[in-house]
Chain A
Amino acid sequence: MRDRARMRDVAVVAVAQSHHVRRDQARNEVELLMPVLHEVKAAVGLDQSGIDFTCSGSTDYLAGSAFSFVATLDGVGAYPPISESHVEMDGAWALYEAWAKIQTGVADSALVYSYGKASPGSLRDVLSRQLDPYYVAPLWPDSVALAALQARACIDAGVTSVAEMAAIAARSRRAAADNPFAQIRGSDDPEVLLKDAEIAAPLRLHDCPPITDGAVAVILAAGDRARELADRPAWIRGIDHRIEAHALGVRDLAKSPSTRLAAEAAGVADGPVDLAELHAPFTHQEVLVRDALGLSDGVTINPSGGPLAANPIMAAGLIRIGEAAGRIQRGDANRAVAHATSGPCLQQNLVCVLEGGA
């Protein structure tokens, strides 16, 4: 991203998402996703033949079956054969791949989607399978326990406090009252939340994201194609992602250096930030990410409610980009930062800077 003059202008021109729920027992993955794909294409008046590249993000470990993403391609309309790719990552990284594809000049438009149907399995255990298979995964540390280790490290380092964490939970879920797609919409006061028992010290239930079934889709377009498709495209002015070591023991869990590096490369500090959509599934992680991004106190964080209000695994990061883009498209913001994370304890982080304007 150093040489921006040579980059193609690429924008988010449409976003759609499902109404997120704890358990969608009636529908399979393609039935969950397909209405979202139809909605996002209809928003810009395109059918699949008008889309140059399609990229999705999901994980077989949620469905418990190999190549499960091939089944959801059935909702795309992939015939005549389309140019298509998939990442076993959050959809934010599928968007990164689509953005890179458009940069090469072989595509002017892209459909990006992701979905996570966590309800068939035990999510806390499923996520333990992403850990180092020799020394950590055999111990089956679940995702909440690992987040608790990080929260403890943050509290001990003076990064945050249980009171600030409860305030983040309450603010997020109250903000979600205005988000018709959110799963948890509303909260008790922080003082009330703090009376609950810890579920994995120092985390209480309100510090943890809900378990969610949901899907999201985004359409990207370059330059004049974007201006044709949308009145106010949300231009991607910078995007970058960085990763930290797989071994938890070699990381300082009370910092997020990969977020900081991605933020520098994406140019977060190059202008004022109106709002930020942060993929910080646990309350303490919002503080880490906010600090690593260098956001000032005045920046509105997660007006959608964020992942504490709905957290479909593999989709919640792309939803952050979609929410930030949607606010720019509606004229509620002119410059926004979206963040996505992957892996345990914020191992990998993606930062995207979006702007309105011509």
Chain B
Amino acid sequence: MTDVVLPEALRDVEPVRSIRTPARLEYSFTAGEATSRFLRGIADKRILGERCPQCGKVMLPPRGSCPTDGVATSEQVELADRGIVTTFCVVNVKFSGSAMKLPYVCASVLPDGGDMGLFGLVQEIPFDQIRMGMRVEAVWVDDDELAPNLSSIKWWRPTGEPDAPYESYREHV
């Protein structure tokens, strides 16, 4: 840091090198109509995507539009609570507030019938055995803990089915 040169009149004053100005704003998030339908489904252990009337793709979680075509999604589609790990990362850094034991795996899971992945944890398997194409199923929280948010899916675990071929999910990586 370069030295601060003060005028003569302030010779004995300690220079101010930094200030802290904490700021905090509170927001009430508006999920929107489509995402609200999705979140209510999650509280009911159902994964509800929405289909684009033009390209036919099923958006997940739906936000009300197809990002490719710029039109409203029109049809609700119930998806399986099992699918494919399309991509993942091994987390080796502890985040503040996280109780997760290191290392652990965060993955994008493409539910069967959907065209976009959901982010979630993969557990019940050693981290170094997790791979692209692995078949997994959702592990839901107990029924009395279900809520309209993605914490209702505790994690995904392997089903033991054969891995999906890369060609079947290459568009979704």
Q: Which residues of A contact B (CB under 8 A)?
A: 24-31, 34, 37-38, 48, 61, 63-64, 71, 73-79, 117, 119-122, 125-126, 129, 133-134, 137-138
Contact = CB atoms under 8 A, between A and B. Distances in A.
A31 B37 CA distance: 14
Q: Which 3 A-B pairs have the closest CB atoms?
A: A77-B70, A28-B32, A64-B27
B21 A120 contact: no
Contacts of A133: 21
Given A129-B25, A134-B19, A28 B68 contact: no
Nearest to A126: B25
Nearest to B70: A77
A74 B32 contact: no
A292 to B, nearest CB: 33
B30 A27 contact: yes
B25 A30 contact: no
Contacts of B65: 30-31, 34, 74-75
Interface in B51-69: 63-69
A83 B26 CA distance: 34
A120 B29 contact: yes
B87 to A, nearest CB: 20
B69 A25 contact: no
A288 B77 CA distance: 56
A78 B70 CA distance: 7
A134 B18 CA distance: 10
11 contacts: A27-B64, A34-B64, A34-B70, A74-B65, A79-B67, A79-B69, A119-B30, A125-B25, A129-B25, A133-B21, A138-B19
B21 A137 contact: yes
Contacts of A48: 70
Nearest to B20: A138
Contacts of A31: 32-34, 63-65, 72
Interface string B90-118: 00000000000000000000000000000
A246 B98 CA distance: 41
Size range of the interface on B? 20 to 34
Given A75-B70, A77-B71, A134-B21, A30 B30 contact: no
B64 A28 contact: yes
Interface string B1-36: 000000000000000000101010111111111110
A71 B69 CA distance: 14
Nearest to A71: B63
A229 B34 CA distance: 34
Given A74-B65, A121-B27, A134-B19, A37 B70 contact: yes
Contacts of B66: 74
A75 B70 CA distance: 4
B70 to A, nearest CB: 3
A73 B21 contact: no
Contact of B23 (A25, A75, A120, A129): A129
Contacts of B19: 134, 138
Nearest to A213: B30
A125 B64 CA distance: 29
A122 B26 contact: yes
Contacts of B70: 34, 37, 48, 74-78
Nearest to A125: B25
Contacts of A25: 30
A117 to B, nearest CB: 7
Nearest to B54: A77
Contacts of B72: 31, 34
A74 B23 CA distance: 31
A57 to B, nearest CB: 18
Given A27-B64, A31-B64, A34-B70, A121 B26 contact: yes
Given A28-B35, A134-B19, A73 B67 contact: yes
Interface string B71-95: 1100000000000000000000000
A267 B65 CA distance: 42
A23 to B, nearest CB: 9
Given A74-B65, A74-B67, A126-B25, 7 more contacts: A27-B30, A30-B63, A71-B63, A77-B69, A78-B68, A120-B28, A134-B21
Nearest to A24: B30
Contacts of A125: 25
Contact of A117 (B30, B64, B68): B30
Nearest to B59: A74
